[in-house]
Homo-oligomer: A and B are copies of this chain.
Amino acid sequence: MDKKSPIKITLTERNDAVTITQWVYQTLRNAVMYGEILPGRALTIRELAGIMDVSPMPVREALRQLAAENALEIQGNRRVMVPKMTAMKFNELCEARIAIESHAAARALPYIDGERLEQLHSLDALIDQAQAADNLEQISLLNQNFHRALYTANPHQVTLPLIESLWLQLGPFMRLATNELDEHYLVDRHNEAMAAIEKKDAYALQIAISADIREGIAFAGTPEMLHSLIENSEP
């Protein structure tokens, strides 16, 4: 029956306040983000519906939405799967993150008030704690929250959806990398970013954000490392 590896998805409790489609969407999104689904593995509507114990309809809609966000890929065969990664594509995604996120940071800078600064500081402190506890999942989650909190300071923000799309595409492979290398320690560039924010220095902020992104992925950026994790994606 299961020709491929059985899909294992972490199911969260379904809140009755949200629609089934939204719940399925969030569940699948997390599964992709945390690399629970192997790239190249064909996803069928009915199989997922069976796993999550819902009708095929919400799954259909969630899959289409994730495909529109480039988290999934619909081939000509109408088959849906997590897109496979290549070294060049990985590099392009990282460079795109740097270009867009440093832009978003600079655009958000003028809007950062005391309250937002407070929020960023507390997130930074939490990240330090998580780093001391060596909790990789927590680190990457808080790191996302930090970046999101920074960019959303701009009330006319339009780039966050684009940035989240890039995170989604990189997600599975960041995870695979962090799983393999638990000895990585990343210099805390957030302190530099905080200093730049307090000085309202847009250029310094862009430098700090760029460095943060570059170092966050540097441990996966060596050609050998990349090669190995890409090979892991092949059947």
Chain A residues with a Cβ under 8 A of chain B: 60-61, 64-65, 67-70, 86, 88-89, 91-93, 95-96, 99-100, 103, 107, 154-159, 161-162, 165-166, 169
Contact = CB atoms under 8 A, between A and B. Distances in A.
29 contacts: A60-B61, A61-B61, A64-B64, A64-B68, A65-B65, A65-B67, A65-B68, A68-B68, A68-B69, A70-B158, A88-B156, A92-B107, A92-B154, A92-B156, A92-B159, A93-B158, A95-B103, A96-B100, A96-B103, A96-B158, A99-B99, A99-B100, A99-B103, A100-B100, A100-B103, A158-B166, A158-B169, A161-B165, A162-B165
B165 A86 contact: no
Contacts of A156: 86, 88-89, 91-92
Q: Which of A60, A86, A96 has the most CB of B within 10 A?
A: A96
B88 A107 contact: no
Q: Which of A91, A93, A103 has the most CB of B within 10 A?
A: A103
Contacts of A155: 88
